[in-house]
A and B are shown apart, each in its own frame.
Chain A
Amino acid sequence: MQVPAPFEYERATSVDQAIGLLERLGSSARLVAGGHSLLPMMKLRLANFEYLIDINPLHAELGYIKIQTDEVRIGALTRHRELLESDDLAGAFPIFRDAERVIADPVVRNRGTLGGSLCQADPSEDLSAVCTTLDASCVIRGPRGERVVSMEEFHVGPYETAVGDDEILIEVRLPRRPGHGSAYEKVERRAGDWAVVSSGAAVWLADGKIVDARVGLAAVGPNTTGIPEISDTLRGNTPSEELFEQAGAIAARSCDPNTDQRGSADYKRHLADELTRRTLRKAVERARS
């Protein structure tokens, strides 16, 4: 059994009380939600915090999926399983169910949360890629009130976010527009492994043409990456295999993968191309149906 270093533990009673604790304890404290990234890192003693503030008691306050006309709001403590099982969310953004089906395993999905996934800021993380694809914004609350940041601003670097030591990510907002279709695909060496590469694609169609399109890639750079050049190339065009190929080629040359145990950089570039084409194809199919 791997055992962590000593730490103090406190259960939060409200968001504001948790913020108060963070304000007092500073960087020696860490929030724990699902714990499926944090606890293994603590057991391996890669992460050593003096205090853990357990925000699971706040699930009633921070666990929700609100489908509105112009946007979807998801509470940070919404669990993977809730994201997977929500028909309303799958109706608004089919990419979520695609992604949740390939995230870890049921044990992790029962506990892991949207906010925890985003705050872990692992470059291979699936929900970060989904949120990047959907142009999400993140609501962060601290002692000085709330602020809203884009995904680009939210992810500062690998394992690093815009959330300050005394702040909490409380909500993710996803803008809704008509004619939407989206999809997610992941190549992994084994179920439950981190992605070798994964790709999310979202399109918005009107009159048979692409009004807007976004592609988000995971595991091919310091953070999940949206690629503006792909959006520029697709916008205003009629979807076609040639267009998807162009997008795939842009994805392959725009990403920045490393060679590691999961695969060579060349292979990952190839996958960025292949998966971009596949997810765009599926996203368009869904937008049309």
Chain B
Amino acid sequence: MTTVHEPKLSQFDDNDQKPVGFGRMLRKEDPRFLRGRGRYTDDVQLPGMLHLAILRSPFAHARIVSVDTSAAEASPGVRLVVTGAMLAEKGLAWMPTLSNDVQAVLATDKVRFQGQEVAFVVADDRYAARDALELIDVEYDVLEPVVDVRRALAPDAPLIRDDLTDKADNHCFDWETGDEAATEAVFAAADVVVVEDIVYPRVHPAPMETCGAVADFDAIDGKLRLWSTTQAPHAHRTLYAIVAGLPEHKIQVIAPDIGGGFGNKVPIYPGYVCAIVGSILTGKPVKWMEDRSENLISTGFARDYIMRGEIAATRDGKILAIRTNVLADHGAFNGTAAPVKYPAGFFGVFTGSYDIEAAYCKMTAVYTNKAPGGVAYACSFRITEAVYLVERIVDCLAHELDMDPAELRLKNFIQPEQFPYETKTGWVYDSGNYEPTMRLAMDMAGYADLRKEQAEKRARGELMGIGIAFFTEAVGAGPRKDMDILGLGMADGCELRVHPTGKAVVRLSVQTQGQGHETTFAQIIAEEIGIPPADIEVVHGDTDQTPFGLGTYGSRSTPVSGAAAALVARKVRDKAQLIASAMLEVSVADLDWVKGAFQVKGDPGKSVTIQDIAMRAHGAGDLPDGMEGGLEAQICYNPSNLTYPHGAYICVVDIDPGTAQVKVRRFIAVDDCGTRINPMIIEGQVHGGLTDGVGMALMEMIAFDEDGNCLGASLMDYLIPTALEVPDWETGFTVTPSPHHPIGAKGVGESATVGSPPAIVNAVVDALKPFGVRHADMPLTPSRVWDAMRGQATPPI
């Protein structure tokens, strides 16, 4: 079922209403943020709190010969200096990563990337801690680094991971999906085969708030309280229990307000562990907040995929098969955050939105002397890379066939009657109706007129480009049967308690980093039980206050936790109905639910509200036989499948032929994320993701020099876009509900980040068609566009 909505003339004309349920309403959390009353990790102040600073490696690859901490220990205000050797004595020098690799908490033998943690200082204030870092004398024996990912497996490449037994090279893992032989057969027989080398460079999520923690270990009762910048407090608690050997019930992880996550705050970083160790050793609360440079050089990066894309088609534009070979740079430790069975995340959806005959991917992941990470920056577990690959290679095919890229896509879409659709790499798309979404975007853009304008401009020597991307995402990890992170199933809990006066509290296992959970989840509950969102408190982020679940990333909050919220509300409503039947002295079957009240069928005058029922549930009056008092429920929701949102994006760019500067003139984004809970929040998510896309497509890249020095260590060097680089976003939507989600919702948090880079790059490449350009890699800075105009486009790495 699909309905197409015309976008409203004014996006605010129904704003400020307070819907009891779904609809546009202002965010409940905004007053505190707008008034500067958010409470972030760095706002946590505890009596006697000390401050921790981390000494980091200046080299990409070096053996540690000696570490002398005596001068630092004598520095004023210093309480503690800890080295890797000291941690090793406690068995804490190494910790597991989210990908079953190990990572050094503090380096003992070697440093393996610039910015790696070497030692830490705990002092009375952060100035004293920082000053003392300069007094730690580390002698390094500098080794040749592995910087060029293409040379990581060369026989003479230096060995990075000599800490691993039986490791003789820098190979991290191999992975494949699809049917190699069947794909080869289709390619061999195809009319047209297009091959293109496509690089998705290393980028960084760069959240406004950097990572940090306040650890407070109470030696008397053995309890550790840890405020930290985490997107997954429950998963972190379990991992701390495993790593540090602390009993899980004595660990409380609190994620207070978070200033942006984008996947950067999924992993456990050495700094968190250092803060815990610092608190245990000093007996005081210890705060660690990394600075901007530390965040950019050492925490989870994103992408770094070197891809060869191949597409086979008939002469008239029927896509037959897609194949890719990927070289993945995982940095010095495999710290990718992805379900265990998916070492390449969900890259397997690289077949996109097209009904094809065969597909195959072969991937090799390697270690290099760079920071670990890989899955971050709103990538939906590597779908960003997959969508970029397929949408770029489809445009290359359009170029070769001299076919309109919109027409080529429309010709190859999976058709609505084919859903649920199993792809050639084994993903079952739950629902979709692609053509109306595409048509709406083309209508909003005035596609035919744009092409006419472009032809006129080309005749005058002006450079205008129109880029299209159509994406299908796979979000909401995931079914427990095959998705877990370090053995923890990816289900989510939810608890709902209705108070006697009819107000409610809902406790979530996911944590918001700006997504608006306090509003969205209140609206989900409101829709189901008719209590206004203002009367529903949303509790999240504190492991002592909330049920277990795996956290917020991969656009999973609404698909997983949102489903849990709807179902727990239905459990409460079912109990309320039993109470109502007793109160109204009719059978359950004779009651109608009108949002917020049960009324007797055929007699609307006889009804009880949910508030009446709540009071009865807690009151002195009779309840149905055998029923306990109270009005509350809990649930643990295990999704049966992922949800598969889709969208059609169209970008219009102008390029100055003299300076090669790209201006994004228009961007039309039509998203289909199923049922829309709060359209304003969805639009906000989309706006943010589109802005990310402009950054990645045009300016962002974490580069390294030949010695492995990170060239993106500040926001002067690593550029992120501002309001001046983005156009007024034009958003629209279609609605194709998910058939298996209780309210038909799909995730949307990462759709725009996934979908926008190919649209922008396709637009730039389209603008450069008069120069014969078929492909140019991101970031499309003026200098790199100028190279492309002269037929000298080069990969960025």
User: In chain A, what residue has the closest Cβ to B703?
Assistant: A261
Scoring A residues 261 to 277 as 1 if CB is less than 8 Å from chain B, else 0, what string do you get? 11110011011001100
Residues on the A chain within 8 Å of B717, using CB: 261
Scoring B residues 776 to 797 as 1 if CB is less than 8 Å from chain A, else 0, what string do you get? 0000011100110000000000
Known interface pairs A44-B293, A274-B658. Does A196 touch B783 (Cβ–Cβ under 8 Å)?
Answer: yes
Complex Cα–Cα for A237 and B330 (A):
61
A25 contacts B by Cβ under 8 Å: no
CB contact list, B165-188 vs A, under 8 A: none
The answer to whether B659 touches A3 (Cβ under 8 A) is no
User: In chain A, what residue has the closest Cβ to B51?
Assistant: A3
The answer to whether A263 touches B699 (Cβ under 8 A) is no
Residues on the A chain within 8 Å of B725, using CB: 190-191
Set B126, B699, B719, B721: member contacting A3, Cβ < 8 A: B126
User: In chain A, what residue has the closest Cβ to B786?
Assistant: A267
Size of interface on B: residues with Cβ below 8 Å to A:
31
The answer to whether A193 touches B292 (Cβ under 8 A) is no
Complex Cα–Cα for A192 and B126 (A):
30
B482 contacts A by Cβ under 8 Å: no
The answer to whether A3 touches B289 (Cβ under 8 A) is no
Scoring B residues 105 to 147 as 1 if CB is less than 8 Å from chain A, else 0, what string do you get? 0000000000000000000001100110010000000000000
The answer to whether B127 touches A3 (Cβ under 8 A) is yes
A278 contacts B by Cβ under 8 Å: yes
Residues on the B chain within 8 Å of A264, using CB: 783, 787
CB contact list, B629-660 vs A, under 8 A: 658-660
A289 contacts B by Cβ under 8 Å: no
Known interface pairs A187-B659, A187-B661, A189-B719. Does A5 touch B131 (Cβ–Cβ under 8 Å)?
Answer: yes
Complex Cα–Cα for A90 and B716 (A):
29
User: In chain B, what residue has the closest Cβ to A2?
Assistant: B291
B164 contacts A by Cβ under 8 Å: no
Complex Cα–Cα for A191 and B716 (A):
11
User: In chain A, what residue has the closest Cβ to B785?
Assistant: A267
CB contact list, B286-325 vs A, under 8 A: 289, 291-293
Residues on the A chain within 8 Å of B131, using CB: 5-6
Residues on the B chain within 8 Å of A6, using CB: 127, 131
Set B127, B292, B787: member contacting A267, Cβ < 8 A: B787
The answer to whether B130 touches A263 (Cβ under 8 A) is no
B675 contacts A by Cβ under 8 Å: no
Complex Cα–Cα for A274 and B725 (A):
22
Residues on the A chain within 8 Å of B289, using CB: 1
Known interface pairs A189-B699, A190-B699. Does A196 touch B782 (Cβ–Cβ under 8 Å)?
Answer: yes
Interface residues of A, dominant DSSP: loop
CB contact list, B232-252 vs A, under 8 A: none
Set A1, A40, A191, A196: member contacting B724, Cβ < 8 A: A191
What's the least CB distance linking A66 to chain B, in Å? 33
The answer to whether B714 touches A263 (Cβ under 8 A) is no
Complex Cα–Cα for A249 and B490 (A):
63
Complex Cα–Cα for A267 and B703 (A):
19
What's the least CB distance linking B134 to chain A, in Å? 8
Known interface pairs A191-B724, A267-B783, A278-B658. Does A1 touch B699 (Cβ–Cβ under 8 Å)?
Answer: no
Known interface pairs A189-B699, A263-B783, A264-B787. Does A1 touch B126 (Cβ–Cβ under 8 Å)?
Answer: yes
B10 contacts A by Cβ under 8 Å: no
Complex Cα–Cα for A267 and B785 (A):
10
The answer to whether B782 touches A274 (Cβ under 8 A) is no
The answer to whether B291 touches A261 (Cβ under 8 A) is no
Residues on the A chain within 8 Å of B660, using CB: 267
Residues on the A chain within 8 Å of B699, using CB: 189-190
The answer to whether A189 touches B781 (Cβ under 8 A) is yes
What's the least CB distance linking B778 to chain A, in Å? 13
Residues on the A chain within 8 Å of B658, using CB: 274, 278
What's the least CB distance linking A146 to chain B, in Å? 35
Set A2, A40, A271: member contacting B659, Cβ < 8 A: A271
Complex Cα–Cα for A275 and B661 (A):
13
Scoring B residues 657 to 669 as 1 if CB is less than 8 Å from chain A, else 0, what string do you get? 0111100000000
Residues on the A chain within 8 Å of B292, using CB: 2
Known interface pairs A1-B126, A44-B293. Does A190 touch B721 (Cβ–Cβ under 8 Å)?
Answer: yes
Complex Cα–Cα for A102 and B382 (A):
37
B722 contacts A by Cβ under 8 Å: yes
User: In chain B, what residue has the closest Cβ to A274?
Assistant: B658
B86 contacts A by Cβ under 8 Å: no
The answer to whether B130 touches A3 (Cβ under 8 A) is yes
Residues on the B chain within 8 Å of A5, using CB: 131
User: In chain A, what residue has the closest Cβ to B42?
Assistant: A1
Scoring B residues 707 to 726 as 1 if CB is less than 8 Å from chain A, else 0, what string do you get? 00001001011010110110
Complex Cα–Cα for A267 and B127 (A):
43
User: In chain A, what residue has the closest Cβ to B784?
Assistant: A263
What's the least CB distance linking A101 to chain B, in Å? 11
User: In chain B, what residue has the closest Cβ to A186?
Assistant: B659
What's the least CB distance linking B792 to chain A, in Å? 9
Set A1, A192, A271, A275: member contacting B291, Cβ < 8 A: A1
CB contact list, B721-743 vs A, under 8 A: 721-722, 724-725
What's the least CB distance linking B41 to chain A, in Å? 12
Complex Cα–Cα for A241 and B289 (A):
57
Complex Cα–Cα for A264 and B786 (A):
10
Residues on the B chain within 8 Å of A278, using CB: 658
Complex Cα–Cα for A189 and B786 (A):
13
What's the least CB distance linking A283 to chain B, in Å? 17
Known interface pairs A2-B291, A271-B659, A274-B659. Does A262 touch B130 (Cβ–Cβ under 8 Å)?
Answer: no
Known interface pairs A3-B126, A6-B127. Does A189 touch B291 (Cβ–Cβ under 8 Å)?
Answer: no
Complex Cα–Cα for A267 and B719 (A):
19
The answer to whether B722 touches A192 (Cβ under 8 A) is yes
Scoring A residues 81 to 111 as 1 if CB is less than 8 Å from chain B, else 0, what string do you get? 0000000000000000000000001000000
Set B42, B130, B293, B719: member contacting A193, Cβ < 8 A: B719
User: In chain B, what residue has the closest Cβ to A271?
Assistant: B659
Residues on the B chain within 8 Å of A271, using CB: 659
What's the least CB distance linking A106 to chain B, in Å? 11
What's the least CB distance linking B275 to chain A, in Å? 15
The answer to whether B293 touches A190 (Cβ under 8 A) is no
Residues on the B chain within 8 Å of A263, using CB: 781-783, 786
What's the least CB distance linking B754 to chain A, in Å? 22
CB contact list, A16-46 vs B, under 8 A: 40, 44-45
User: In chain A, what residue has the closest Cβ to B717?
Assistant: A261
Set A44, A189, A262, A275: member contacting B714, Cβ < 8 A: A44
Scoring A residues 247 to 270 as 1 if CB is less than 8 Å from chain B, else 0, what string do you get? 000000000000001111001101
What's the least CB distance linking B150 to chain A, in Å? 21
User: In chain A, what residue has the closest Cβ to B695?
Assistant: A190
Complex Cα–Cα for A5 and B128 (A):
9
Residues on the A chain within 8 Å of B130, using CB: 3
Residues on the B chain within 8 Å of A194, using CB: 716
What's the least CB distance linking A264 to chain B, in Å? 5
Known interface pairs A2-B291, A2-B293, A3-B130. Does A190 touch B783 (Cβ–Cβ under 8 Å)?
Answer: no
14 A–B contacts, CB within 8 A, in A order: A3-B127, A105-B722, A189-B719, A190-B699, A190-B721, A191-B725, A194-B716, A196-B782, A261-B717, A262-B783, A267-B786, A270-B786, A271-B659, A274-B658
4 residue pairs, one from A and one from B, having the closest CB atoms? A263-B783, A191-B724, A267-B783, A2-B291
Additional 13 contacts, C-beta under 8 A, given A1-B42, A189-B699: A1-B291, A3-B291, A44-B293, A44-B714, A187-B659, A189-B781, A190-B724, A191-B724, A263-B781, A267-B660, A267-B782, A267-B786, A274-B659
Residues in A lying within 8 Å of B, measured CB to CB: 1-3, 5-6, 40, 44-45, 105, 187, 189-194, 196, 261-264, 267-268, 270-271, 274-275, 278
